[in-house]
Structure 1
Amino acid sequence: MADLTLINDADESQLPHCGNCDRPVYESSRFCSHCGHAIILSSESSTEEKWRAIKQAALFFAIHAVACCVFSFVDYFKTFTWSIVIDVFLAAVAVVFFFINWSKLKSVFLWHSFSVLKLLGYCAIAVGGSFVVNFVVRWLNRSLFSTDFSYYEFYASHKNSVVLAIFFVAVMPALFEELGYRGFLLGKLMLVTDTKQAIFISSFVFAIMHRSVISLFWLIPFALLLGHVRTKEKTLWYGVCMHFCFNFTAIMLEIIQWNHHL
C-alpha cells in the first residue's frame, strides 16, 4: 500500500485517481490507501476515452446552448410556463449525462472528511458574495440602464410566488447545475486536460449559459470558486450548499426589495 506522505508530496494532478473515492494513488498500488477499493488504473486516459469525453461534453454544451438561445431569442418561448419547462428539461439533461457516466463520476457523491466548520465557512463566503454582487449589479443596472432588474418579478404575479422563486432560483440550480457543470462537465474535461484548465473551461461555459453579459464579472469568479472547491474537496456537496446559499440570499434580497417598493 502506498505511503500517504509520498502521495502528498507529489503533484496530485499528475497522479491517477481511485475510481471509487477519486483520491490520488500510485499505479503500483493494488488498493486505495484512502477507501480500500481495488485499483485498476493507468496513468492517463486512453485516446478513445478522451475522444468520448470530448464528444459527450460537446453534446452537453450544444443542448444547453440551443435551449438557452430558444428561450432568449424566440418570443413564443418567453413565457413563465416555457421557462419552467426549459428549466426542468435542462435539469433532466444534467441527470442523464451524469448517470450515463455513473461508474466514473459517482465518487463526487461521497462527502470526504465532512466538517461542519468548513461547510459554514464556505456558506458564509457564498452569502457574503451574494450581498456584494446584489449591490454591484443593482448599481450597474441603475447607472447603465436606469432601471432595476429583478428575477423575482418573473414569479411575483403567480400564486405561491415566493416558494416558486426559491425553488427555481435557489434549489434547482444548486442541485442540477452543480450536477451538470461541476459533476459531469468538469469530470469529463479532467480526462482531457489538466485540472486548472478543466475548471476554467467549465466555468466559462457555465457563465455564458446564463445569457447575461453584465453578470460575467461575477459568474466566472463564482464558477471558478465552485470548481476549485469541487476538485479540492473531491465532492459536489460543498458546492451545492454554496450555490444554494448564494442564490437563496440573492432571491430573498430581491423579494424584500420588491415588497418594500409595493
Structure 2
Amino acid sequence: MSSKGPDLQDFMPSSSFVPQRSALNRTNLSDFLLLLIISIGGTRLLLPVFDGFFLSLPWSDDAVNAARLALGLMLHSLIALITTWFIFFYRRQIKLKDIELGPWSNQWLRTALPMAAPIILTTLLINYTISLLLGDSFNNPQSTVVETLGHTPSSLVVLITGTLIIAPVLEEIIFRGLLLGWLELKMSRLKALMVSSLAFALVHGAPLLVPALFVAGMGFGFARQKAKSLWPAIVLHAIFNGLSVLLILSAPA
C-alpha cells in the first residue's frame, strides 16, 4: 500500500472558483489607479486644511505631530473606504460574495493560525538581514509612525483600531479581494498572487520594507486562495500588524 504526500494542488482552490468571480470582469486597471490617486491625493489635499487648527492648540510639538499623524491616518482610511465603495461596490455593482467575503466561520481561524508563524518569522528574517546589510541607515517608517503617536491611551486606541481592524479589513478587500480576484481572471493564479503582492508592498511607500511586505502579501493571498475566503487573509493581516506594533512598542528606546 503506497502513501503519497500532499500535492501543491491540494492546497490551491480548484479552477471552479474562477467563474464564480466573473463579476470582477466589470472592473479594470483604471479603477485601481483611480483608487490609488484619490486615496493618496485626497489625504494630502485635506490634511493641510487642519494645520491652522493644530497650530492654535496649546500643545507641545510632539503632541501636535502625533495628533496630525493620527488625523492623517484616519483621513486616508476614510477616503480609501469611501472611494472603494463608490468605484467597485456602487459603480461596478460588485458584491461581497464576489470577493469571497462571506459569513464568519471558526474554520477561517483554524486556517489562518498555522500560517501566521511562518509568515511572521520570514518577514522578520528579511528585515533583520536588510538591517545588517545597511546598518544605521535602515530606518523602519512603521517605527517612526508608532514613536510619533506615542504611548498615551488615546494613541494606543488609534494604533489598535487602525492596525488590527481598519487596515486588515480594508487592505484585504482591496488587494486580496478585488485586485487578486480580478487578476486571477487575467492570468495564472501564481502570477496574480505575485502581482497583487508586489502592488501591496509598493503602495505602502517604504522601499526598504518592500521585500518583507511582498512575502507577507504572498502569505495573505495564499491563505485566501487556499480557503476560498477572504477571512483567513484578514485574520493573518491583523496578527501580522499586531505583532509588528507590539515589537516596536517593546523595543528599547
Please give the TM-score of this superposition, normalised by the length of structure 2. Answer: 0.70
**Where do 1:24-39 residues align within 5 Å?**
none
The residue number in structure 2 matching 1:121 is 114
Paired AA for residue 63 in structure 1: L
> Counterpart in 1 of 2:34?
62
1:102 to 95, 101, 105: 95
The 1:126–1:162 alpha-carbon spacing in structure 2 relative to 1, beyond 3 Å, is farther
* Matched position secondary structure for 1:150: helix
CA distance in 2, matches of 1:53, 1:178: 17
Aligned to 1:53: 27
Q: Contact 2:119/2:219 (CA < 8 Å) preserved in 1?
A: no
Aligned-residue offset at 1:85: 0.7
Q: Structure 1 141/242 Cα, relative in aligned 2: closer, same or farther at 3 Å?
A: farther
What does residue range 86-235 of structure 1 map to in structure 2 within 5 Å? 86-96=76-86, 97-98=88-89, 100-102=93-95, 105=98, 107-109=100-102, 114=107, 117-129=110-122, 131-132=124-125, 135-136=128-129, 139=132, 142-144=135-137, 149-156=143-150, 160-235=154-229
CA contact (8 A) 1:126 1:243 kept: no
Quote the RMSD (CA, aligned, Å): 3.7
Count of equivalent residues? 222
Using the size of structure 1 for normalisation, the TM-score is 0.68
User: In structure 2, what is the Cα distance between the partners aligned to 1:141 and 1:241?
Assistant: 32
Bigger helix share: 2
Percent identity between the two aligned chains: 20
Question: Do the aligned residues in 2 keep the contact of 1:207 with 1:216 (CA within 8 Å)?
Answer: yes
Q: 1:147: Cα distance to partner?
A: 8.6
Q: Which has the higher contact order (CA 8 A, sep 6+)?
A: 2
List runs of 5+ in structure 2 lacking aligned partners: 1-8, 52-67
Shift of 1:246: 0.6
What SS is found at the alignment partner of 2:197?
A: helix
Which deviations, in whole Å up to 9, do the C-alpha atoms of 1:129-169 show, x marking residues without a partner?
A: 45445645655674325798432123117651112112212
- What is the DSSP-based 3-state SS (H/G/I as helix, E as strand, rest coil) of the residue aligned with 1:160? helix
